[in-house]
């Protein structure tokens, strides 16, 4: 009976130690989420490349704080952070490529919307992102919005877009790179949003 009580006591003490360690580790992990890493790569509305850990980075004395792991080398990936507090946001690419996927996440990492070139109009990446009220105003009052822009209603005011474009062969890399470099992430103009200019 004494051995059983000792085993239970050791188990409870071990569980308490692990629980306390996890609680103390949470703040450090919260500062290393995708939103935080992207904020270290560039300001809001800037399009940044998502690069994986460079070869040998694990052996480096100090890893770079914005490195992303699990980036497939067959894709070129880019992202931008945005806010819809002042109005809707246009997320689009001026160039085209054969295969791309895009996802919009909330600042907390929740996946809110996904699309690929197969379901986009004419295979173009062109999104108008905002709240229901902002999108309704843009639909009714906006005069210069591209009719091919896909309206995306979000329940949050801050988020980030990630775009991945497939490099099917090395000869295609310059064209896929041109698509990635053509990505735009900006507040909608007054004509696009139907809001008066500031």
pTM of the model: 0.75
What is the reported pLDDT for 88? 94
| Average pLDDT for 5-16 | 78
Helix or strand holding residue 93 (H, E): strand 89-93
Which neighbouring-strand residues pair with 105?
111, 160
User: For residues 166 and 98, what is the distance between their CA atoms, to the nearest angstrom?
Assistant: 8
Q: Which of 8-17, 54-63, 80-89, 178-187 has the least mean pLDDT?
A: 54-63
User: For residues 16 and 119, what is the distance between their CA atoms, to the nearest angstrom?
Assistant: 50
**Torsion angle of alpha carbons 137, 35, 123, 186, nearest 10°?**
50
Specify the higher pLDDT residue, 27 or 72: 72
Tokens of 134: 């902002």
Residues in the chain: 198
Q: Kindly list the strands in the beta sheet with 150-153, ordered across the sheet, starting from the edge strand earlier in the chain.
A: 150-153, 126-130, 89-93, 183-187
Give the pLDDT band (50/70/90) at residue 56. very low
67-122 pLDDT tens trace:
666 678 889 999 999 999 999 999 999 999 999 999 999 999 999 999 999 988 88
User: For residues 91 and 128, what is the distance between their CA atoms, to the nearest angstrom?
Assistant: 6
What is the reported pLDDT for 65? 46
Please answer whether residues 127 and 91 qualify as being in contact, where contact means their C-beta atoms are separated by less than 8 angstroms: yes
User: For residues 159 and 112, what is the distance between their CA atoms, to the nearest angstrom?
Assistant: 9
Question: At CA 157, angle to CA 118 and CA 132, rounded to 5?
Answer: 65
């Amino acid at each position: 009976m004494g051995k059983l009580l000792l085993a239970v006591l050791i188990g409870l003490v071990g569980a308490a130690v692990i629980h306390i360690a996890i609680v103390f580790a949470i703040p450090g992990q919260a500062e290393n989420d995708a939103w935080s890493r992207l904020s270290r790569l560039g300001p809001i509305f800037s399009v940044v490349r998502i690069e994986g850990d460079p070869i040998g980075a694990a052996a480096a004395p100090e890893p770079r704080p914005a490195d992303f792991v699990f980036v497939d080398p067959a894709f070129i990936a880019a992202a931008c952070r945005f806010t819809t507090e002042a109005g809707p946001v246009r997320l689009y690419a001026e160039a085209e490529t054969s295969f791309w996927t895009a996802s919009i996440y909330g600042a907390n990492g929740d996946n809110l919307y996904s699309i690929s070139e197969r379901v986009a109009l004419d295979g173009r990446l062109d999104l108008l992102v905002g709240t229901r009220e902002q999108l309704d105003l843009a639909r009714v009052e906006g005069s210069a919005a591209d009719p091919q822009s896909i309206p995306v209603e979000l329940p949050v005011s801050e988020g980030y877009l990630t775009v991945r474009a497939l490099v099917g062969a090395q000869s295609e890399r310059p064209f896929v790179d041109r698509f990635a470099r053509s990505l735009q992430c900006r507040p909608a103009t007054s004509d696009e949003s139907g809001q008066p200019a500031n």
